[in-house]
Structure 1
Amino acid sequence: MSWLWVIIVGLVLGLIARAIIPGKQHIPLWLTILCGIVGSFLGNAVAGWIGVAETRGVDWTRHVLQLVGAIVVVFLVDKLWRTIRGNKAKRGSGQRA
């Protein structure tokens, strides 16, 4: 059951991150989920480092850090995805990269 929650959280964080980042992202849904998962782990790590991983009530700081992590990861992966896919498209059309 915990893996299911990891995937759901990754999906939600990834989609929110894509909605916040201006412009259109060109990464597929499966990669959005992975970016959300990685962003969640990064946010949890930062929350642990600054001492706010466990608080009473809702852990708003940890959740915001997870979202910030997802935004950063989605942004960087989208740039990398466009670069990689752009180079493949150029080679496929007979142009040299």
Structure 2
Amino acid sequence: MLNIIGAIISGLVIGVLARFFYPGSVDMNWIATILLGIGGSLLAGLITSRGSRDFSRAGCLASVIGAIALIFIGRLLNIG
């Protein structure tokens, strides 16, 4: 249960940061922002983790970049 709460909180933080750094307006509700952050973390984790489960600042930065990439892909495909 604690892992789910942690994923939601970190997803919210990552999603808000991605929306802040993305150029232009990103209109999303809180649930979409949380899902964006979780998706960005998963995308970055698949690319950069190589089996490591430790916390790192580089991993957080990669998660924000992954979430920004998801915003870009969503806009490119006209989703949302």
CA distance in 1, matches of 2:73, 2:56: 26
Which structure: larger Rg?
Answer: 1
1:46 corresponds to which residue? 47
2:30 corresponds to which residue? 29
Q: TM-score, normalised by structure 2?
A: 0.80
Provide structure 1 residue ranges, at least 5 long, that are not aligned to the other structure: 82-97
Q: CA offset at residue 6 of structure 1? A: 0.2
Structure 2 counterparts to residues 1-97 of structure 1, below 5 A = 1-49=2-50, 53=52, 59-78=56-75, 79-81=78-80
Q: TM-score, normalised by structure 1?
A: 0.67
CA distance in 1, matches of 2:35, 2:72: 13
Deviations 1:24-60, CA, capped at 9 Å, x for gaps: 11222211110100101111111224x7x356xx512
CA distance in 2, matches of 1:54, 1:30: 26
Aligned-residue CA RMSD (Å): 1.9
8 Å CA contact 1:7, 1:37 repeated in 2: yes
Task: Indicate the SS of the match to 1:67.
Answer: helix
Task: Indicate the SS of the match to 1:80.
Answer: coil
How many residues are matched? 77
Task: Indicate the SS of the match to 2:79.
Answer: helix
Q: CA offset at residue 69 of structure 1? A: 0.6
Provide structure 2 residue ranges, at least 5 long, that are not aligned to the other structure: none
Percentage of pairs with the same residue = 30
